Chains A and B, each alone.
Chain A
Amino acid sequence: MSVNVNRYKCGYCGACVGVCPVGALELVETWIEVDNTCTSCGVCAKICPVGALSVVK
């Protein structure tokens, strides 16, 4: 389970990192990394200002 990040859309703001309940996301310069603790809860995708994230079930 994980999230997909559309790097062509992502504004690399880090808002998704702040809302991840398990701390699975990390903003590194201009890209988001997702580790294997991601539960696909979808909170990050919901709050993304540009809609760059989508949940992979």
Chain B
Amino acid sequence: MKNKYDIIVVGAGPAGSITAKTCAEGGLDVLLIEKRQEIGDPVRCAEGVGKDALKKHIEPDKRWIAAEVKGSRIISPDGTQILMSGDAAMKDVGYTLERKVFDRVLAQKAAMAGVEVMVKTRATGLLRNNGNVSGIKAMYMGETREITASIVIGADGVESKVGRWGGIDTSLRPVDIETCAQFLVSNLDPGEYSEFYLGERYSPSGYVWVFPKGGYTANVGIGILGSKSGSIRAISHLQKFIDTFIPHGKIVEMVVGGVPVSGPIKQTVANGLILVGDAARQSDPLTGGGIINAMDAGKMAGEVCIKAREKGDYSVKTLKEYEDRWRATIGKELSKSLLVKNMVLKLTDEQLNQLAHSLDGMDVSTMELSKLLYVLFKKNPKLLWELRTLFN
């Protein structure tokens, strides 16, 4: 580890590794630090991802693809099923990843591009020069160090200390976070579709997911809105679901975590500072999915860092291009998802059943989500009136 780099990236998840790799490919001198001693472990994710979106960043590899899925099955509280499959629903549909391997491979690719990777290295604060962020204070194996850089990238996930140190309030209210638990369950045949169980019956203001993971296993998880947590925990709800619906399942791994569902936050850049991925609250408020957004944002951030280096200007004036780009793309989708999420939160189990029944006799299997929402809106305008702005 040197004392000076062009870019320091804090956090070696997908957002951090893609940012670091993009910067290095542009000729920048990059340090990528990860506070854990093992990149990708422990996992904090349901591991589902769309195929086409992923292929924009990395060629699929059987080392980190646990299973392929043909589509999604949405299950309403009374058990009514809506099948979404084929090319239209999820763009050639998706994979369940093996994040422990996937994250490590992304970091390795960054390293191969020239990035210096340091594990067991934790950022403990930011350095400043004339008010601008100019590096980090770090701890490696119990020793403190100061490392300077022109830009610090906060890719430190839901915990997001870098943003706060840089003056960006990233703190999440309970209503802005899904508190999640997941078991890797063995001794079941989950089929070839990802399943989503909606309604209070399964989860308070969230959903239960069952993602096939290959070899008679599945990621079975639950997210409940933080504001509904307290008296009963995510882990208790999940155990109840398993006991009720998958009593023969054998639990072989436990995952817990928090997913930001706040939608776009006000600010993700400061002088010498950029936030990406979960740290920038770029996960989808409706689905909780964040891997692709994190990678897309990382690519944009890296490209803007390269431009900043060319101009020799690391101020907000230059870095704002990242902010503008992600808001015009990822941000727009997040805002739409937030609108849908806020409406879904108000629906009772009966109303969810009504929506599912309104599709009786219709083949929605090849519809994209936006088209499906439109069909639901047309059939249930009073119930879904808040969504009207989506279709203008």
CB distance from A38 to the nearest CB of B (A): 14
| Cβ–Cβ contact A47 & B258, under 8 A | yes
Out of A12, A13, A26, A43, which one reaches B174, CB within 8 Å? A43
CB distance from B234 to the nearest CB of A (A): 4
CB-based nearest A residue for B169: A21
| Cβ–Cβ contact A19 & B235, under 8 A | no
Q: For A17, what are the chain B residues with a Cβ–Cβ distance below 8 Å? A: 158-161
- Given known A19-B177, A21-B171, A29-B37, contact A12–B226 (CB-CB < 8 A): no
Q: For A47, what are the chain B residues with a Cβ–Cβ distance below 8 Å? A: 174, 177, 179, 226, 229, 258
Docked complex Cα distance between A48 and B292 (Å): 26
Q: For B180, what are the chain A residues with a Cβ–Cβ distance below 8 Å? A: 49
| Cβ–Cβ contact B35 & A29, under 8 A | yes
Docked complex Cα distance between A47 and B176 (Å): 11
- Given known A46-B174, A50-B256, contact A18–B37 (CB-CB < 8 A): no
Out of A11, A14, A21, which one reaches B157, CB within 8 Å? A14
- Given known A18-B158, A48-B233, A50-B181, contact A11–B36 (CB-CB < 8 A): no
Docked complex Cα distance between A46 and B233 (Å): 9
Q: For A26, what are the chain B residues with a Cβ–Cβ distance below 8 Å? A: 159, 161
- Chain B 221-259 near chain A by CB (<8 Å), digits 1 or 0: 000001001100111000000000000000000111110
Q: For A51, what are the chain B residues with a Cβ–Cβ distance below 8 Å? A: 233, 235
Q: For B177, what are the chain A residues with a Cβ–Cβ distance below 8 Å? A: 15, 18-19, 47
- Chain B 167-187 near chain A by CB (<8 Å), digits 1 or 0: 000111110110111000000
**Number of interface residues, chain A, beta carbon within 8 A:** 24
Tell me if B332 counts as interface (CB < 8 A to partner A). Answer: no
| Cβ–Cβ contact A19 & B161, under 8 A | no
- Given known A17-B159, A18-B260, contact A49–B171 (CB-CB < 8 A): no
| Cβ–Cβ contact B257 & A15, under 8 A | yes
CB-based nearest B residue for A9: B235
Docked complex Cα distance between A12 and B128 (Å): 30
Docked complex Cα distance between A21 and B160 (Å): 12
CB-based nearest B residue for A17: B159
| Cβ–Cβ contact A15 & B230, under 8 A | no
| Cβ–Cβ contact B256 & A11, under 8 A | yes
Interface hub of A29, A43, A49 (most chain B Cβ within 10 A): A49
Docked complex Cα distance between A19 and B176 (Å): 9
Out of B42, B161, B254, which one reaches A23, CB within 8 Å? B161
CB distance from A46 to the nearest CB of B (A): 5
| Cβ–Cβ contact A15 & B258, under 8 A | yes
CB distance from B264 to the nearest CB of A (A): 16
- Chain A 31-57 near chain B by CB (<8 Å), digits 1 or 0: 000000000000101111111000000
Docked complex Cα distance between A42 and B122 (Å): 26
Docked complex Cα distance between A51 and B179 (Å): 11
CB-based nearest B residue for A19: B172
Q: For B174, what are the chain A residues with a Cβ–Cβ distance below 8 Å? A: 19, 43, 46-47
Q: For A5, what are the chain B residues with a Cβ–Cβ distance below 8 Å? A: none
CB distance from A16 to the nearest CB of B (A): 8
Tell me if B164 counts as interface (CB < 8 A to partner A). Answer: yes
Q: For A21, what are the chain B residues with a Cβ–Cβ distance below 8 Å? A: 171
Residues of A within 8 A of B (CB): 11-21, 23, 26-29, 43, 45-51
- Could you jot down 8 A-B contacts, CB within 8 Å? A15-B258, A17-B159, A18-B170, A19-B174, A19-B176, A20-B171, A47-B229, A51-B233
In the complex, besides A12-B42, A17-B160, A23-B161, 5 extra interface pairs with C-beta distance below 8 angstroms are: A13-B258, A18-B177, A26-B159, A46-B226, A47-B258
